[in-house]
């Protein structure tokens, strides 16, 4: 890691600006959970919402004031006073004061186009609105962050007016002047040039940056602004936000700390980035981006045989950082592109040893390539790969024997729904088992029946939950006779794993994946017991 430079403060606006993104909706309880996670991460400011704009934010601020913050300062958001309304009578400003947060963040217009067409007021009145609003909030003892909305567009249109808007906020006592690329259309060189001009104009003012991602430059723009002297960075977890999103605070924090050495998060806090990123995704009910830099599930995934062979000699050959620095893990993918190095490294991850059976290693390589040609895909199915290796090494002992199963669907005309039922015959530890279970679909019914038969013998299976189920047609040209690939993802209290099954019959493919998932869980539990 690089040598530390000057401190940079993180200002998270996931709970306000992030919720303006399409598909992002957080309840009060959700917002409180995310707030607590952000505080644990080490974020310096958490913008909770806009008091007075909706009942949800009113309840949130009421509940949040009882939370024992360890790091963050809770911030209320709002706008400058309305035109021709005194600040001390403005409902928006009074709502901010009412929630009693230590920090207020208000935005004002920097672009003459907005002043004329959006506010429909004079340029001078807009400057008074900015100054009066900041002055009023400061008189109430609040720390005030002033967001200069559309600043970069405004500067390009009329530099003097944009700067005069900043001067109004600064002269009124603002603690920070944050420059906003609200439309997200700027690129790093433009950001750098304009931030330099602002620093010349008000050299003593602490500056911030608030970037949007409409040009795919939000993270780069934010980092550039810090390099030019901004000491506060606004953004959201995972880049959630309106249109193309806000600057991704996860990537910004990692870049500033690991690439440039800024004092933004401690090493320990940085190691929780992956956990917090995925937690926020889960609370927001948004599928995590597997390819997200630093924290994505595939951010340190390696597939090509040449790459993996080089990494077997030295991990830095194809990784820009150690994934553990941000709480992530390395993944070696298995596919038809795999060479001996892929198989060996993946087996090592699973604590499987080929050292005494080189013939089995060659067998696994050939089997994987043959199965991938038939439609299997082991990239996200580490558990199915583990079962394949165990079987090839002669180490697998089935936890049960299948005698047969039957799955049926029945249309319930009275209630207008389809009911699925699975009947299953097994032999477990020498005991015959016959179970029947219903489900929301044939696969769910089969899963329920299998669990019912096994949980008495293997209680740890009660902790297993199905988290994902996907079906893909492999050879679509074959029509209804086409093979399908079923992918099932499961997890327990500690781990998550994927399994696949391929067949012309979707129920059969699902069964193959379900059995691999169960067998992998039991093998994993047995392995952990031996370690103890």
The predicted structure's pLDDT at residue 390? 83
Which domains, from first to last, does the chain contain? Answer: 9-283 (3.20.20.70), 301-392 (no CATH), 400-457 (3.30.160.740)
Burial string for 134-146 (b: 16+ CB within 10 Å, else e) reads: bbbbbeeebbbbb
Mean pLDDT computed over every residue of the chain: 88
pLDDT digits (tens, 9 = 90+) for 411-436: 877 767 888 999 999 999 999 999 99
**Does pTM surpass 0.85?**
no
Does 337 score more than 60 pLDDT?
no
The predicted structure's pLDDT at residue 290? 84
The predicted structure's pLDDT at residue 336? 46
Name the band, by pLDDT with cuts 50, 70 and 90, for residue 345. low
CB 161 within 8 A of CB 123: yes
Q: Give 186-193's long-range contacts (Cβ < 8 A, gap of 24+).
A: 186/152, 186/211, 186/215, 186/217, 186/221, 187/215, 187/217, 187/220, 187/221, 188/217, 188/220, 188/221, 188/224, 190/152, 190/156, 191/152, 191/221, 191/224, 191/225, 191/228, 192/224, 192/225, 192/227, 192/228
487 or 349, which is more confident? 487
Beta strands in 218-308 (DSSP E): 232-235, 301-302
Q: How many CA atoms lie within 13 A of 22 on its CB side?
A: 2
Does 57 score more than 60 pLDDT?
yes
The backbone torsions φ and ψ at residue 121, rounded to the nearest 5 degrees and listed phi first, read -140, 180
The predicted structure's pLDDT at residue 331? 66
Which single residue is written with the structure tokens 């583990």?
A: 386
């Amino acid at each position: 890691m690089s040598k530390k430079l000057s401190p940079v403060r993180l200002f998270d606006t996931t709970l306000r600006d992030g919720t303006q993104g399409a598909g992002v909706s957080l309840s009060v309880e959700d917002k409180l959970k995310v707030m607590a996670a952000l505080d644990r991460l080490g974020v310096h400011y958490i913008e909770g919402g806009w008091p007075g704009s909706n009942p949800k934010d009113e309840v949130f601020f009421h509940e949040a004031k009882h939370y024992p913050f360890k790091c963050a300062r809770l911030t209320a958001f709002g706008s400058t006073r309305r035109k021709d309304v005194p600040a001390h009578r403005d409902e928006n400003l009074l709502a901010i004061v009412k929630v009693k947060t230590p920090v207020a963040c208000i935005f004002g217009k920097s672009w003459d186009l907005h002043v004329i067409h959006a506010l429909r007021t004079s340029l001078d009145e807009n400057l008074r609105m900015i100054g009066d609003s900041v002055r009023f909030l400061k008189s109430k003892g609040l720390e005030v962050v002033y967001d200069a909305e559309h600043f970069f567009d405004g500067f390009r249109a009329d530099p003097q007016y944009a700067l005069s808007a900043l001067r109004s906020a600064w002269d009124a006592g603002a603690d920070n002047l944050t420059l906003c690329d609200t439309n997200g259309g700027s690129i790093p060189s433009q950001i750098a040039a304009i931030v330099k001009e602002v620093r010349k104009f008000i050299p003593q003012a602490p500056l911030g940056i608030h970037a949007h991602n409409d040009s795919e430059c939000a993270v780069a723009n934010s980092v550039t602004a810090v390099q030019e002297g901004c000491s506060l960075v606004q953004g959201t977890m995972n880049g959630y936000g309106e249109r193309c999103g806000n600057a991704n605070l996860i990537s910004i924090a990692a870049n500033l700390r690991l690439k440039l050495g800024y004092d933004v998060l401690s090493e320990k806090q940085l190691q929780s980035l992956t956990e917090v990123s995925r937690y926020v995704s889960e609370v927001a009910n948004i599928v995590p981006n597997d390819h997200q830099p630093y924290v994505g599930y595939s951010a340190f995934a390696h597939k090509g045989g040449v790459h993996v062979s080089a990494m077997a000699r030295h991990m830095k050959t194809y990784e820009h950082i150690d994934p553990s620095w941000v709480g992530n893990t390395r993944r070696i993918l298995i596919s038809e592109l795999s060479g001996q190095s892929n198989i060996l490294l993946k087996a090592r991850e699973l604590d499987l040893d080929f050292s005494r059976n080189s013939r089995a290693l060659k067998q696994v390589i050939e089997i994987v390539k043959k199965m991938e040609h038939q439609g299997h895909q082991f990239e996200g199915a580490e558990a199915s790969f583990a079962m394949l290796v165990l079987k090839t090494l002669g180490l697998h002992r089935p936890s049960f024997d299948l005698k047969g199963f039957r799955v049926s669907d029945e249309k319930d005309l009275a209630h207008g729904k389809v009911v699925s039922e699975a009947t299953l015959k097994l032999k477990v530890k020498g005991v015959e088992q016959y179970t029947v279970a219903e489900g929301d679909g044939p696969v769910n019914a089969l899963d329920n029946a299998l669990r019912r038969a096994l949980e008495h013998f293997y209680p740890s299976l009660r902790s297993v939950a199905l988290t994902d189920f996907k079906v893909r047609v492999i050879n679509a040209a074959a029509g209804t006779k086409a093979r399908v690939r079923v992918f099932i993802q499961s997890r327990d209290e500690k781990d998550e794993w994927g399994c696949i099954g391929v067949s012309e019959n979707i129920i059969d493919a699902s069964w193959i994946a379900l059995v691999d998932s169960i067998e992998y869980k039991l093998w994993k539990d047995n392995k952990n017991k031996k370690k103890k």
